[in-house]
Amino acid sequence: MNFTIPRRRFASAAVAGLALAGLLSACGGSGSGSGEDSSGPVTLDFWGWANGQEAVVKAFNASHKDVQLKYTKVTDQLTMQKQLTNAVKAGNAPCLVQNTGEYVTSWVSQGALADITEYVEGEKGKFNPGAWTTAQVQGKFYGVPTSSSPNFTIYRTDIFEKYGIEPPATWDDFIAAGKELKKHNVKITNYAGEDPSTLEVLAMQAGAHWYSIDGDAWKVDFQDAGTLKAAKVIQEVIDNDLNSKLSFADYAAVQRNYDNGSTATRQISTWQMAGMVQNFTKSFGDWALSPWPTFEGEAAKTPAGTNLTASVTLVTEDCESRQQAAEAALWMSTDTTAVKTMASPETGNGVMPALADSDTYVPEAISEKLLGTNYAPAQKVVKDSLGTVTTDWTFGPNWTAMFTEMQAGWAKVVSKEQKVTDLLAHMQEWTVKDLKSRGISVKG
């Protein structure tokens, strides 16, 4: 699932009339910052929303004398974007903020983030390739990756066994399984009307590039071959009524739907399993993992994840103590105890770390209670998916506004008021027009 924020107006001064290189570089100089005087430690404000961060901050402060973190827990990712927008405008943003990969380019385009490349570029070997790309724009780093996003299918073994269905290896298999389940009043998936991330991740897997950089301009393409391939799968699911249509606004109802067996599969990452464990009452032990379905004839490839999975710790332009902030972010992403705290669904969010040896944390990031006897084989599925994550997806500078616009159209797709291809045609026209209105050079 995906939570997004309302459209916000980007500061025109950060984008208008600038060449691409300038557009994607934070402004020079330091802002209000969080440094203390020379007689005491440097104190860095850190905003985040993830479970477990308080414990990580406490451990950091206990092990560092010269730098201390002052943690503020924000309600959720939605609230973070709103509060950070206000803080950036006021010139008093915290030094460190938790965020997610798709917002990095947008924040850079506003001049809100500091270039910390010199402090982090030598740490590349500690991180896995998929996660390493999330904190950079045009080769410059604005933060440190905190999590990676192995993606896979979780499915109800009892339902699949009852009706003689194999876990879908391809999207064609997925549709065929959905048609069989439909005969028994079971849906194979859920498409929330407010959440077009399904289209995003399938397009990503299919090799699409909604945004790319072409010379000194952005290239926009919502109708490339990969996107159309993804659209075909989604359209077949919708046309054949293979999907539930439950909104994540009623999260408990969505979870009951899975727990009761009304919907039999999800394409997820590790962190969503924590929500299942916390809300289920009936189906513990009835779930198993299988690889993310492939497109027919293609090798395994999984999307890099959407906003709540590809997390980063960003350093803001307002931070005076950027080196200390970068080093604190690196510590939180690499210290063994900190990583274990965040990886566990009990002490943290059940997120996979961004580290090169992420696979060693798999047993702690998935739930034996949920999977039962399927717990051991599930570990291999997760480990294998870490090696197939997409690394060439680019988030555009107006991603937030674009995604908000796509939400409205996606609701009409789910309700069968328009086709997926109608939405894509609209998004192509709308995105090009929106970028031009911001003074951003664009092709498409």
SS (H, E, C) 371-391: HHHHHHHHHHHHHHHHCCECC
**What does the block give as tokens for 310?**
């590809």
Q: What predicted TM-score, i.e. pTM, was given to this entire model?
A: 0.81
Q: Could you report the per-residue pLDDT of 191-226, keeping only the tens digit for each? A: 999 999 999 999 999 999 999 989 989 999 999 999
**Could you give the percent of the chain with pLDDT greater than 90?**
65
Complete edge-to-edge strand list for the sheet that includes strand 217-220: 211-214, 217-220, 442-443
Cα gap 93→433, rounded to integer Å: 30
Question: 421 in the Ramachandran plot: left (φ > 0), alpha (ψ -120 to 50) or beta?
Answer: alpha
- Helices assigned H by DSSP within 91-214: 104-109, 117-120, 129-132, 157-162, 171-182, 197-205
Helix, strand counts (H, E) of the chain: 19, 17
> Residue 308, exposed/middle/buried by CB under 10 A (0-12, 13-18, 19+)?
buried
C-alpha pair distances (Å), 415 with each of 175, 228, 266: 19, 20, 20
The segment with the largest mean pLDDT, out of 9-18, 305-314, 340-349, is 340-349
Amino acid (1-letter code) at residue 82 = K
In the predicted structure, residue 416 carries a pLDDT above the cut 50: yes
Cα gap 354→358, rounded to integer Å: 6
How would residue 130 be classed by pLDDT, with cut points 50, 70 and 90? Answer: confident
Asked if 131 contacts 341 with a C-beta cutoff of 8 angstroms, the reply is no
Quote the pLDDT of residue 258.
98
Quote the pLDDT of residue 205.
93
**CB atoms inside a 10 Å sphere around CB 191:** 21
| CA geometry: angle 96, 33, 19, nearest 5 deg | 80
Using only C-alpha atoms, what is the Rg of the chain? 22
Quote the pLDDT of residue 4.
33
Site of tokens 């299988």: 290
